[in-house]
């Protein structure tokens, strides 16, 4: 695995990462097949109005979701302040130049609010369905590394020539580039302790994993601690300040003020996620959920991406008003390096 030093992350936190407070930050991911544009817009505007950090979309063209990039472009005009993120874009779906072009444009359309998340692809059947090549995990990790290198090079607006696994570029230029400085914040998804977290340490502004076999296998608090410790060690090995990386965790959230409402939400299972997302689902009343989130915070998690069902405005509001204010980051997390 080669590391491209020319595009490594700076050893200071991205300005967005540095926006710490006494509470962990939360973003909301809408992952609902069949949702139309007006539903995305209305939900994103509600997320923004309640003060969440970001509205996230996933990149699964074959699972019934609207295209994340097209939708983010529309949301950039329907929202004003909230960050817009992709969690995450599979590097096999688009060549690096296209990802650079799309992300630069969304960053400009949103006036500098994009967060770019990338990963090696967790749903292999979806990749095969579109006739895309599906190399082994190691080769996909190399593909991701080339993608990060080329996207960051192309964002500079300078001509890029390159030959590699992801293809060939000859004096390729992407202009205009993104407006964020030093660049669009980069999330690398996954919890692989040997390679993925090393790539996070070298390139990324944000890490992300979850309690699921496809995205990190962080099933227990001990798993979370071990992965964050692995990330810390990789940071030490590449000379990166661990505190400059925003450590995040993703889960499906079902929240209500009464046990009866929580039970009803569990049983409704509108998308048939019950079994597929069982290990990564957090469900309960505020009194039950607060200790679960706080335990993850105490392990070192600073940011949560919560996946919500479409129209679950109850969870959205209860989380904002009756959970987040009662979660506290340790002081060592609030004092980020400058």
Taking only the tens place, the pLDDT of each residue in 184-198 is: 999 999 999 999 999
Instruction: Give the structural domain span for 41.
Output: 5-334
How far apart (Å, rounded) are the C-alpha atoms in residues 316 and 97? 36
Contact between residue 133 and residue 225 where contact means Cβ atoms under 8 Å apart: no
Contact between residue 234 and residue 200 where contact means Cβ atoms under 8 Å apart: yes
Contact between residue 286 and residue 323 where contact means Cβ atoms under 8 Å apart: yes
Average pLDDT of the residues in 243-260: 96
Which ranges of the chain would DSSP assign to H, the alpha helix?
A: 37-49, 68-78, 96-109, 124-129, 137-155, 196-203, 221-238, 259-268, 286-299, 313-322, 331-334
pLDDT on residue 252: 92
Q: pLDDT tens, 83-97?
A: 999 999 999 999 999
How far apart (Å, rounded) are the C-alpha atoms in residues 181 and 206? 16
pLDDT of 159 above 90: yes
Average pLDDT of the residues in 230-235: 98
Average pLDDT of the residues in 52-59: 97
pLDDT on residue 278: 73
How far apart (Å, rounded) are the C-alpha atoms in residues 292 and 326? 12
268 band by pLDDT with thresholds 50, 70 and 90: confident
How far apart (Å, rounded) are the C-alpha atoms in residues 9 and 19? 18
Phi, psi angles (nearest 5°) of residue 84: -120, 125
Q: pLDDT tens, 292-338?
A: 999 999 999 999 999 998 889 999 999 999 999 999 998 666 555 65
Question: Looking at the 3D structure of the chain, how many domains does it have?
Answer: 1
pLDDT of 132 above 70: yes
Among candidate residues 188, 174, 194, the one with its CA nearest the CA of residue 145 = 188
How far apart (Å, rounded) are the C-alpha atoms in residues 8 and 249? 23
Q: The tokens of 266 are what? A: 């569990």
Q: Could you tell me the CATH number of the domain that includes residue 164?
A: 3.20.20.30
How far apart (Å, rounded) are the C-alpha atoms in residues 217 and 224? 9
Chain centre distance of CA 12: 20
pLDDT of 274 above 90: no
- Neighbouring CB atoms inside 10 A of 46's CB total 17
**pTM beyond 0.75, yes or no:** yes
- Four-residue CA torsion sign, 87, 92, 94, 100: positive
Buried residues in 185-222 as b, exposed as e (16+ CB within 10 A): bbbbbbbbbebbbbbbbbbbbbbbbbbbeebbbbeeee
How far apart (Å, rounded) are the C-alpha atoms in residues 198 and 3? 10
How far apart (Å, rounded) are the C-alpha atoms in residues 113 and 5? 26
How far apart (Å, rounded) are the C-alpha atoms in residues 164 and 81? 38
Chain centre distance of CA 110: 18
3-state DSSP: the chain helix, strand, coil percent, rounded to 5? 40, 20, 40
Strands 167-172 and 160-164: antiparallel
pLDDT more than 70, % of the chain: 94
With H, G, I as helix, E, B as strand and everything else as coil, classify residue 37: helix
pLDDT more than 90, % of the chain: 77
């Amino acid at each position: 695995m080669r590391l491209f030093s020319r595009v490594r992350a700076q050893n200071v936190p991205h300005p967005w990462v540095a926006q710490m407070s006494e509470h962990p930050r939360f973003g909301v991911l809408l992952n609902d097949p069949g949702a139309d544009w007006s539903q995305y817009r209305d939900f994103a505007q509600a997320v923004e109005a309640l003060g969440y950090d970001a509205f996230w979309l996933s990149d699964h063209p074959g699972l019934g979701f609207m295209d994340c990039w097209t939708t983010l472009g529309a949301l950039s005009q329907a929202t004003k302040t909230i960050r817009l993120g992709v969690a995450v874009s599979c590097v096999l779906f688009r060549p690096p130049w296209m990802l650079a072009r799309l992300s630069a444009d969304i960053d400009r359309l949103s006036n500098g609010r994009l967060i770019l998340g990338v990963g090696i692809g967790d749903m292999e059947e979806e990749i095969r369905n579109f006739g895309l090549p599906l190399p082994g995990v190691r080769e996909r990790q190399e593909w991701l590394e080339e993608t990060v290198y080329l996207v960051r090079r192309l964002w500079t607006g300078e001509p890029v020539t390159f030959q590699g696994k992801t293809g060939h570029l000859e004096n390729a230029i992407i202009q205009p580039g993104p407006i964020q400085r030093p660049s669009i914040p980069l999330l690398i998804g996954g919890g692989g302790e040997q390679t993925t977290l090393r790539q996070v340490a070298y390139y990324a502004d944000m890490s992300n994993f979850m309690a699921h076999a496809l995205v990190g296998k962080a099933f227990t608090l001990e798993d979370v601690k071990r992965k964050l410790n692995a990330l810390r060690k990789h940071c030490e090995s590449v000379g990166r300040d661990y505190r400059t990386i925003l450590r995040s965790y993703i889960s499906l959230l079902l929240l209500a003020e009464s046990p009866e409402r929580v039970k009803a939400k569990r049983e409704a299972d509108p998308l048939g996620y019950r079994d597929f997302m069982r290990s990564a689902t957090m469900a309960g009343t505020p009194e039950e959920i607060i200790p679960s989130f706080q335990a993850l915070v105490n392990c070192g998690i600073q940011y949560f991406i919560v996946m919500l069902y479409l129209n679950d405005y109850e969870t959205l509001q209860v989380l904002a008003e009756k959970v987040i204010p009662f979660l506290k980051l340790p002081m060592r997390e609030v004092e980020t390096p400058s």
